[in-house]
Amino acid sequence: MSSNLLNLGLISLAALGLLLVLALLAGLITLAVLYLIDRNQSKHSIRRNYPVVGRFRYFFEHMGEFFRQYFFAMDREELPFNRAERSWVYRAAKDLDNTIAFGSTRSLEPTGTVMFMNSAFPTLSDTAAHWQPKRIGPGCRHPYEPQSFFNISGMSYGALSKPAVQALSRGAKQAGCWMNTGEGGLSPFHLEGGCDLVFQVGTAKYGVRDQTGELSDDKLRSLAAHDQIRMFEIKLSQGAKPGKGGILPGDKVTEQIAKIRGIPIGQDSISPNRHLDITSNADLLAMIHRIREVTGKPVGFKCVLGDTDWLVALFELIRERGPEFAPDFITLDSADGGTGAAPQPLMDYVGLPIRESLPWLVDQLIASGLRERIRIVASGKLMVPSKVAWALATGADYVVSARGFMFSLGCIQALQCNRNTCPTGVTTHDPKLQRGLVPADKAARVAHYHRQMVYFLEMIAHSCGVPGPSDLERKHVRMVTDNGLSAPLDYFYQNRIPLNSVN
């Protein structure tokens, strides 16, 4: 018996040894093949000079993004959003305790640092929330009074997945805020949650164009028939890619998305870099007036500021024609805004950041006598209470965020929005990856994030001695200057309207 066991053991050892030898031979053959391939190919210099070993460069380069995010970057270092900002949103979305201990990791010394000025006699925290809706489009047949100053910015079905849109729609309804459709047209998933919607008219006019690509009054009326659609926003430009239209890679153009947009399946969806029928301020006002007359609902436009002469001229034209021809709102985007796909030169170098453009726009509207007629919606990296409070204090009537709400859905800043490989299911149309995003669960997180945002904004407002966030003014905010000392926002912005040469 023992002899048989010994023989079986020897046989097993021999077999294991043979497998190891075969595996070693297979490995050597693979390395030899890779060596020959790398040595003889001509596309990659590193691989040609350092066969096999050079391949690790690409692996480490790819993995570097994730190692920096989780192991090496400090809490306040990363871009576009640092760990401290993301963590606040994650905790808010999960309705967890959002306090910290020992001290802030935020330095108060760099030039441009914003600080809110607390009052000696703060408003009692149990004071009822002080928010009076600011009516948009008072002259319209169907004006709009939003119930929240913080809302969901434009993200199309296409850029976002089906479950992501469903979760945002349901969450917006629970939170009582609006949701912007983005330029990809109206999908059934936008409607199913029952929230208020802002329909965005992009340069390709998806969802509102006829067979020739022109703006269709019939389709505008059809959309306006939805009670949920409360406003229309004409997209002139966005901060991440001013001067460039929307880009949806072909991998993300599914059959359903193609049908909604009226484009071929699987082909890149590239919108024009501007509206072909808007070549002047007069054309812009004509389109605003047309859509408002057809739909009966407020109409505004979205832009990122660069050259400002055109806007000064637009306000002058409005004064000549009368305030009834004015846009009902302007959505102002920042040069550091986000998007699913954009050319890097535009993302990095074109447009004004909202820190400079928002106060200019507010002051210009005041100087033009149009401040009460035109509402301002601020956008661009405004996803934590301090930045939203700054925008409201500077003069914005409303604030919208896209990436903040994406984080509330579970986005981990994997920087794969332009591919179909989002690991959290937020921006992919791969069913296997979408499975991780459960709309019912994430809708609650969207609502939690919104609720926490409002709560902490009220906390900042009460600390400054005012009843609510909409009562914040520039005098409540100071900014660090070059000499290390701070000055009130009024010092930087008051009476400094001209950014260009127009008088």
Domain range 150-493, CATH architecture:
Alpha-Beta Barrel (3.20)
Note the pLDDT of residue 503: 33
Reply yes or no on whether the pLDDT at 367 is more than 90: yes
Percent of the chain surpassing pLDDT 90: 48
Decide: helix, strand or coil at residue 121: coil
CA distance 165 to 149: 21
Would you place residue 146 in the very low, low, confident or very high pLDDT band (cuts 50, 70, 90)? very high
| Measured CA distances, 483 to 21, 109, 111, 214, 493 (Å) | 70, 10, 8, 55, 18
Would you place residue 502 in the very low, low, confident or very high pLDDT band (cuts 50, 70, 90)? very low
Reply yes or no on whether the pLDDT at 241 is more than 80: no
- Torsion angles phi and psi, residue 302, rounded to 5: -115, 135
DSSP state for residue 211 in the 8-state scheme: T
Greater confidence (107 vs 304) lies with: 304
CA distance 4 to 389: 82
Q: Work out the average pLDDT over 374-397.
A: 94
Q: Work out the average pLDDT over 148-162.
A: 92
Q: Tokens at residue 224, please?
A: 């306006």
Decide: helix, strand or coil at residue 248: strand
Would you place residue 365 in the very low, low, confident or very high pLDDT band (cuts 50, 70, 90)? very high
Greater confidence (417 vs 364) lies with: 364
Angle (deg, nearest 10), helices 281-295 and 217-224: 50
pLDDT tens digits, one per residue of 36-73? 888 888 777 677 777 887 777 666 666 666 656 655 55
Q: Can you give the residue ranges of every domain in the chain?
A: 2-72, 150-493
CA distance 236 to 186: 19
Note the pLDDT of residue 74: 57
Contact in structure between 463 and 452 (CB atoms under 8 Å): no
pLDDT tens digits, one per residue of 338-360? 776 667 777 777 788 999 999 99
β-strands 486-488, 229-235 pairing? unpaired
Q: Work out the average pLDDT over 396-411.
A: 92
Where in 218-328 does DSSP place strands (E)?
A: 229-235, 247-248, 269-270, 299-304
Q: Is the peptide bond before 80 cis (omega within 30 degrees of 0)?
A: yes
